[in-house]
Amino acid sequence: MKLKELESCLQQVDVFDEPKILLEQYPTSPHIAGCMLYTIHNTFDDIKGKLVADLGCGCGVLSIGAAVLDAGLCVGFEIDEDAIDVFKGNVEEFELPNLDVVQCDVCSLETLSLAKKFDTVIMNPPFGTKHNQGIDMTFLKTAISMAKTAVYSLHKTSTREHIQKKANDWNVKMEVIAELRYDLPASYKFHKKKSVDIQVDFIRFSIK
């Protein structure tokens, strides 16, 4: 599948009507999701036939993309019931059999029972701003414990050094695959501008 086809497919995915500020619900744009998944699939062959987890899956754009690219099974993990309802509607719309979703708090997942259960973990975690300091690292630590092969994640470029230190501590190899401009639409009332650009790293963590 070509990148353009994947992107236009992901444009059909329904997203949040009313994003929740405390959960930092910024949908992953079809463009960014498409670029991430296309690279994971074509460069690293970490989707097709694999067991994939999507942490903080929201309405499911990354999960659906992984399923479209023939993941063996993609399981989304999400705390918010409203997001899960949209996710399930998307799954029905796309008629994808290789998708499932689990309602849970990623930050308090019983990781021992899920340790090394997934080949690949993909995610666009909360960036850990405002009320959620450090949540991005909690997501990352959970993802690394769940993955056999690799974790793919988006993180603010400004946190790169901190994340590199953590990756060294956790004995995983970190590779910045691309630097992206993440366009945050003015989805909340406190956003004065129409949209805000954030520099974001798309990172692959290889499990040694």
Query: Of 2, 75, 82, 73, which is closest to residue 37 (Cα–Cα)?
Result: 2
Size (the chain), residues: 208
Q: Is the pLDDT of residue 127 over 50?
A: yes
For 156-173, letters b (16+ CB in 10 Å) and e give beebbeebeebbeeeebe
Higher pLDDT, 127 or 24: 127
Q: Is the pLDDT of residue 147 over 80?
A: yes
The pLDDT assigned to 25 comes to 55
Q: Is the pLDDT of residue 132 over 90?
A: no
Report the alpha-carbon distance of residue 104 to residue 137 in Å, rounded: 17
Q: Is the dihedral of CA 197, 132, 76, 96 positive or negative?
A: negative
The pLDDT assigned to 28 comes to 81
Mean pLDDT, to the nearest integer, of 84-106? 94
The pLDDT assigned to 119 comes to 98
Q: What percent of the chain has pLDDT over 70?
A: 86
The pLDDT assigned to 198 comes to 79
Please write the tens of the pLDDT for every residue from 2-58: 999 999 999 999 886 665 555 555 678 889 999 999 999 999 999 999 999 999 999
Q: Is the pLDDT of residue 129 over 90?
A: no
Q: Is the pLDDT of residue 188 over 50?
A: no
DSSP 8-state secondary structure symbol assigned to residue 115: T
pTM of the model: 0.90
Mean pLDDT, to the nearest integer, of 152-167? 95
DSSP strand E in 36-145: where? 51-55, 73-78, 99-103, 118-123
Helix-then-strand count for the chain, H and E = 7, 7
Residue holding tokens 């308090």?
108
Report the alpha-carbon distance of residue 133 to residue 123 in Å, rounded: 18
